[in-house]
Amino acid sequence: MLFQPPLPSRYAEMTQEQMADEITRRRRAIGRRLVILGHHYERDEVLRFADFTGDSLKLSQIAAEQTDAEFVVFCGVHFMAESADILTDDSVRVILPDISAGCSMADMADLDQLEEAWRFLADATTQTIAPITYVNSAATIKAFCGRHGGACCTSGNAQPILEWALKHGDKVIFLPDQHLGRNTAYAMGINLSQMVLYDPELPDGGLSTEQARSARIILWKGYCSVHSLFTVEQCDHIRRVDPDCRIVVHPECPWEVVQKADLAGSTEFIIKAIAESPAGSRWAVGTETHLVNRLAGRHLDKQVRSLAGVQCLCTTMYRIDLGHLLWVLDELSAGRMTNRVIVPPDVRDDALVALERMLKNVPSQPQAAKPPSPDNSPRSTQRPQS
Ligand code: SF4
């Protein structure tokens, strides 16, 4: 994690209203040279300043379209700012208001570990392997995938990307999120017994040569610290107390939770599912707190609540506050560029290959990560490898 020095004391002395007024003034002065992007998991007071909001996929697409702006201020986390830097022209400078805003999942895979895994797999099998990385990963991981015939994916297009990869390779190594990989492959009809879990902390990932050889999907042992807080017990509780309440979850949730849910899909999928549901419908949502609260406020004719009884907050997204946003705009106004995120050219070129493959495989509508099931019972009695 990169270190963000404390802000000058004047920001701590300002009220929220003063900071909001200053941000408005700075934005007006900088004008069209500035675009602010905001992820759905950001705080409301920050998101209201975003020119565009979206999930990782949508924001990647929007970043790729920015040719006129000079500065993109990314209210999100570090890997998103890296992707924006890779996808924009050299003339566009990408700024992350708090450089410590990383992602615990992205930090679970580094290049040395992936190269070690690749060597082990190359020794174990002569089959072709496509490396697929969730976009929630470092630029160096994306570059590795681009260099080795693989691609990036988001939760919105993991299935078409996996289908594409399995057309081009005998098997896939999917990283860093085991849950998205497992849920997507399972929804495609791939049996859990054809998937193995590679633990980068163990010699050979904790796998035998035979396990590596016979698996179709090799899942990296990474997870999202927010979405792994959702549990089967929470789903059972909702079913007990409110049988008509629908459960929708993000595919970063564990497989057992996705099996219990009525629907699973990307952030944009969740937003659309609730928006299109009839008035009076009730929803328990398995995703980040800020988005759930915003959906509850937006759909007052429906009942929207978190699936968990506790706040499932992405603490790194939460680092971006009004003070940090104002600070980077103050710096820009003073002719200084602080917290610029730059991906080195050699990494950038290969990472761009992986990201462009991702953007070519975008469905026109947000897709479910779980085929609808006639009842709420798990479709399998299998359990994933843990
Ligand atoms: S919600 Fe999870 S995957 Fe997304 S940025 Fe936060 S820790 Fe990373």
For residue 250, the CA-to-ligand 1 centroid distance in Å is 11
Ligand 1 and 312: CB distance under 6 A:
no
Ligand 1 and 136: CB distance under 6 A:
yes
pLDDT of residue 371: 66
Give pLDDT tens digits for 139-157.
999 999 999 999 999 999 9
pLDDT of residue 286: 98
Among 278, 286, 179, 271, smallest CA distance to 237 is for: 286
Share of the chain above pLDDT 70, in %: 96
pLDDT of residue 365: 76
pLDDT of 378 strictly over 60: no
What mean pLDDT is predicted for residues 25-43?
96
pLDDT of residue 118: 98
pLDDT of residue 386: 62
Q: Are 156 and 366 in contact (CB under 8 A)?
A: yes
For residue 332, the CA-to-ligand 1 centroid distance in Å is 28
pLDDT of residue 366: 77
Minimal-distance CA residue to ligand 1 atom 2? 224
- Position 199: which residue type? D
Query: Using CA atoms in the order 205, 144, 269, 308, what is the torsion angle rounded to 10 degrees?
Result: 40
All domains of the chain in start order, with CATH: 9-103+316-339 (3.40.50.10800), 106-220 (3.40.50.10800), 227-306 (3.40.50.10800)
15: left (phi over 0), alpha (psi -120 to 50) or beta: beta
Ligand 1 and 338: CB distance under 6 A:
no
- Quote the mean pLDDT of the chain: 94
pLDDT of residue 381: 43
pLDDT of 92 strictly over 90: yes
What mean pLDDT is predicted for residues 56-71?
89
Give pLDDT tens digits for 166-225.
998 899 999 999 999 999 999 999 999 999 999 999 999 999 999 999 999 999 999 999
Give pLDDT tens digits for 216-273.
999 999 999 999 999 999 999 999 999 999 999 999 999 999 999 999 999 999 999 9
